[in-house]
Structure 1
Amino acid sequence: MAAHTGVKHHNAKMTVAKVRQARKSYATGKWSIRRLAEKYGVSHQAMWSVVQRKTWQHVA
């Protein structure tokens, strides 16, 4: 059985919309990973993984 990913995972704190917005904000250079992590209530490592596309790879 495949593992649940994205919003289907029971511990997900991010949504597709939040992932897109976080990546867009980071790309502007005005938001740090630490500030984004605080804004979205996730760890620094989790946010780094989001913006580096290590996680949430299925989100464009």
Structure 2
Amino acid sequence: MTDFDVRIGDRRPGDAVAIVAEAERCRKEFSWEPRYDDLRQIVTHALNWEKKLVGRNRQ
């Protein structure tokens, strides 16, 4: 259950057919580790950031 409306529809012009994020090469070549490595945590962090920005724009 979400606290926002979800609308599923056709792709819009310019939408990507698929999005793939693979960080293994960066991990190996640069010894890089992401700050957030869990999808739920990533989405939660991004949503909180967007909410913060919306709050700033209302002031």
TM normalised by structure 2 equals 0.30
Please state which structure has a larger fraction of its residues in helix: 1
TM-score calculated relative to the size of structure 1: 0.30
Highest CA radius of gyration, 1 or 2? 2
